[in-house]
Amino acid sequence: MARILVTETIAEGGLDRLRAAGHTVDVQEGLSPEELLSAIVGANALIIRSATDVTAEVLAAGTDLVVVGRAGIGLDNVDTDAATERGVMVVNAPQSNILSAAEHTMALLLALARNVPQAHAALVSGRWERSRWTGVELADKTLGVVGLGRIGKLVAQRAMAFGMRLIAYDPFVSPEMGRKMNIELVDLDTLLATADFVTLHVAKTPETIGLINATTLAKAKKGIRIINVARGGIIVESDLADAIKSGHVGGAALDVFDKEPTTESPLFGLPEVVVTPHLGASTHEAQDKAGDTIAEMVGLALAGEFVPFAVNVNAAEASETVRPFLPLAERLGSLFAGLGGSVDSLEIAYEGEIGGYDTRILTLSLLKGFFARTSDEPVSFVNAPKLAEERGITVTESSSTTAHHYVNLVTVRGSGHNIAGTLVGMEGEARLVMVDDHRVDVPPTNNMLVVRNDDRPGMIGIVGTIVGEAGVNIADMDVGQAASGASAMMVLATAAPVPAEVCATLRAVEGIVSVDAL
């Protein structure tokens, strides 16, 4: 099994799950960058939080790495591009701390409105300063939410319970969706000019770094108060400090900073400012969720299975409709590779209900199955497209919601061959329904044999006898019908691989055109 290097504190429940699966969990906390370069050698997986920097150098040293798991949401400390280039999957736990972060935002919102930390500090220091720390009510105030993702929506829901009016800026949310949430969507300048309080819930990207700066603050409503429980660097701290000192901004509450950890900021010491040391995800519940989730994701990645929270896969999250087809797509790719011949293009078609969904993850799964059979290196959802590019294989997709013979159908064609499969019944059982334009109906198993033969009596008996005499049990079998109605193909599912010498014996039989062991 795999060696998993863990460099920061992770909930034991998640680590125990990995140990129970047979993996070796190597916990080495507090490593220096130099020590990490040594420790990563031979590791198949790396689990971190926010303090470990996974640089291109670290990834280069980890030649056996399959996956890097971040127990949390942010990936500022992981060189995802370098990981993708090396075929290393990067996974996180994006839903583990959303509730904790939303609740911490509300805590800071209330603390900022009522000056709770300042009043507490004064009182425990021996000063009764009741009049100095008079606050404001949240009711009837306007809250501007920048970013209506998972956390932003949770904050908006909670703010409504306080009687606040909601406006939001998010260019990726439609006005219709905003109306359904009772939130008015506006541009950023309008939001800043209108809101009494602003809360930030956006990722740290080149577009959002320095989003709140001297220029944008100058457009803000006088007395505005700003909360940031998202990422440090979205606010230019020196510009915010200047705006607070001038009286234009009424106050701020920050949980995140440009440089972390830190004990210095131009905002520290200002009486209008409330700060916490990145506590947004620091609840027992969030830590447990993050540990459990990242353990599950790393386990799936090491098993070569679909990983829902892989961040460097084009379609990281498959819909509930698409997800059941992932094993089928991977099996079709593997079976197609077994049909033989040089492949310079793969045409993948999706028909029926799945044709109306994002099927990119199915294509990745199919490529993973194809290259796992033809490549001598580990294949994942991440490096499968790169392998296709390196080998000059053109991959094209087409989708249609029109169903013909099946409710859903996945077909792959290329270099004179084709194969198709579907799911049938209440349990969604996989079925191979076409091989090289011959209709069949057989479960796609680990060991299959495709025999093309002259359409004449006795061929089925000959094939069955030869395979049976070799001690290979035939679990299932179907005779493929061509469009003309001629039976010129047999597809067998066998309980064990058919030995090469048995395939050679079959090929020598008069009337058998070809034999492919899939």
User: Which residues have C-beta within 8 Å of that of residue 480, sequence separation ≥ 6?
Assistant: 435, 436, 438, 439, 440, 487, 488, 489, 490, 491
Residues 289, 270 contacting (CB under 8 angstroms): no
Spatial CA neighbour of 277 closest among 45, 84, 108: 108
The whole-angstrom separation of Cα 417 and Cα 442 is: 18
Give the number of residues written for the chain.
Answer: 518
Kindly give the residue spans of alpha helices, DSSP state H, lying in 324-433: 326-337, 360-374, 384-390
Spatial CA neighbour of 344 closest among 416, 290, 397: 416
Spatial CA neighbour of 449 closest among 438, 461, 463, 436: 463
Q: What is the DSSP letter of 78?
A: B
Decide if 260 is catalytic.
yes
Residues 253, 109 contacting (CB under 8 angstroms): yes
The whole-angstrom separation of Cα 165 and Cα 141 is: 6
**Cα separation values, 203 from 43, 144, 157, 198, Å:** 30, 17, 20, 16
The whole-angstrom separation of Cα 183 and Cα 371 is: 47
Residues 473, 495 contacting (CB under 8 angstroms): yes
Decide if 231 is catalytic.
yes
Q: Of residues 17, 23, 165, 231, which has the active-site annotation?
A: 231
User: Which residues have C-beta within 8 Å of that of residue 502, sequence separation ≥ 6?
Assistant: 466, 467, 470, 472
Using DSSP bridges, classify how beta strands 197-200 and 224-228 pair: parallel, antiparallel or unpaired: parallel
26: exposed, middle or buried (Cβ count in 10 Å: 0-12, 13-18, 19+): middle
Residues 84, 302 contacting (CB under 8 angstroms): no
Q: Of residues 57, 85, 260, 397, which has the active-site annotation?
A: 260
The whole-angstrom separation of Cα 145 and Cα 71 is: 26
Decide if 114 is catalytic.
no
CA angle 287, 292, 297 (to 5 degrees): 125
Both tokens assigned to 14: 């998640």
**228 forms bridges with which residues in the sheet?**
200, 254
What is the tally of helices (H) and strands (E) in the chain?
A: 17, 22
Q: Buried b / exposed e across 141-177, counting CB within 10 Å, b at 16+?
A: bbbbbbbbbbbbbbbbebbeebebbbbbbbeebeeee
Amino acid identity for residue 497 in this structure: P
The whole-angstrom separation of Cα 488 and Cα 493 is: 17
Question: Which residues are annotated as catalytic?
Answer: 231, 260, 278
